[in-house]
Chain A
């Protein structure tokens, strides 16, 4: 939701390491992070704090998972990847390594996806690493046909 970024961030995890000098707190083990409608689930999360609060979160996992409801009444958007970077300030989610986003039934996959949470814009990138057949990574999109309103 638009106001998610101003909500408190709640975290549960198995362990935590707080480094007061760098401002980085590392959570490990079944990490669950909630902020309003936003949810992050990962094996490892590095939280970067500055004087204004939480600046960014880096989530890693066999696949880390991100979920958020863009607007009230909208379906949830889900994202997966081995490496998620959630920038709280500019509300951008960068997914790398097995990136996948499902937004309102449309599916995007690629090597890297940058998801603008404010505008709900998905930028997917194939990336340079090649797949088994030697062709560079590809972006795949599955856009579901939108049902026409019965009125028109």
Chain B
């Protein structure tokens, strides 16, 4: 049992220490300001090198595969940047669309993908009658299988070359619209 003098001594110690502990626990000392995590505010929180991202539908059918040399995620911007992305989508009739570019950005909600630099859309890459579309910028809406651009576009297929400025394409109905300044040539030699 603690006799009286000890109790007094413990009480005194408590009286002295508690404020100090409280001060130390809650209050930050003058030179310790909360360091803003700058990299999170504008920067990335994670990156993946040589990333392969696959997307399946509800029945387990592979819809889309995305390869990219480097994926960097920016939480505050709610997007990821892609280096040298290559996307292969598989349509309902199992034909494919392959899209490559120098760079890209993907929104976190996957509603929109922006591609820039040497954008190549290869419709039916595995067949001899592939159609290759090239432009400098393309906005893709994966959930609608739809893409558009305001840039000049060049479309080459086995028998024709078409150019225009501004384009939109529905990958499912396979209807492409050229918005202006259309020039085309069709090889008709028998």
Is B75 at the interface (CB under 8 A from chain A)?
no
Contact A21 B174 (CB under 8 A): yes
Contact B177 A15 (CB under 8 A): yes
Q: In the assembled complex, which residues on chain A have CB atoms less than 8 Å from the CB atom of B185? A: 8-11
A20–B155 Cα distance when bound, in Å, is: 12
A25–B183 Cα distance when bound, in Å, is: 13
How many chain A residues sit at the interface, stated as a range, is 20 to 34
Contact A52 B175 (CB under 8 A): no
A10 interface neighbour in B123, B131, B155, B184, Cβ under 8 Å: B184
Contact A16 B186 (CB under 8 A): no
Question: Nearest B residue to A24 by beta-carbon distance?
Answer: B175
Is B176 at the interface (CB under 8 A from chain A)?
yes
A41–B159 Cα distance when bound, in Å, is: 22
Question: Nearest A residue to B178 by beta-carbon distance?
Answer: A16
Q: How many residues of B contact A (CB 8 A)?
A: 25
Contact B176 A11 (CB under 8 A): no
Is A91 at the interface (CB under 8 A from chain B)?
no
Which of B182, B183, B185: most chain A Cβ within 10 A?
Answer: B182
A150 vs chain B, min Cβ distance (A): 43
Is B78 at the interface (CB under 8 A from chain A)?
no
Map CB proximity to B onto A1-32 as digits: 1 under 8 Å, 0 otherwise: 00001111111111111111100010100000
Q: For chain A, what secondary structure do more than half of its interface residues adopt (helix, strand, loop), or is it mixed? A: strand
A19–B180 Cα distance when bound, in Å, is: 17
Q: In the assembled complex, which residues on chain B have CB atoms less than 8 Å from the CB atom of A5? A: 188, 190
A63–B77 Cα distance when bound, in Å, is: 55
Contact B182 A13 (CB under 8 A): yes
Q: In the assembled complex, which residues on chain B have CB atoms less than 8 Å from the CB atom of A8? A: 185-189
The 10 A-B pairs of least Cβ separation, nearest first, read: A20-B174, A11-B184, A16-B178, A9-B186, A53-B188, A16-B182, A18-B176, A13-B182, A6-B189, A10-B185
A residues near B (Cβ < 8 Å) are 5-21, 25, 27, 35, 47, 49, 52-54, 88
Supply 16 further A-B pairs (C-beta < 8 A) apart from A11-B183, A20-B131, A53-B186. Answer: A5-B190, A7-B188, A10-B185, A11-B184, A15-B164, A16-B178, A16-B182, A17-B175, A17-B177, A18-B175, A18-B178, A19-B173, A19-B175, A20-B175, A49-B160, A88-B188
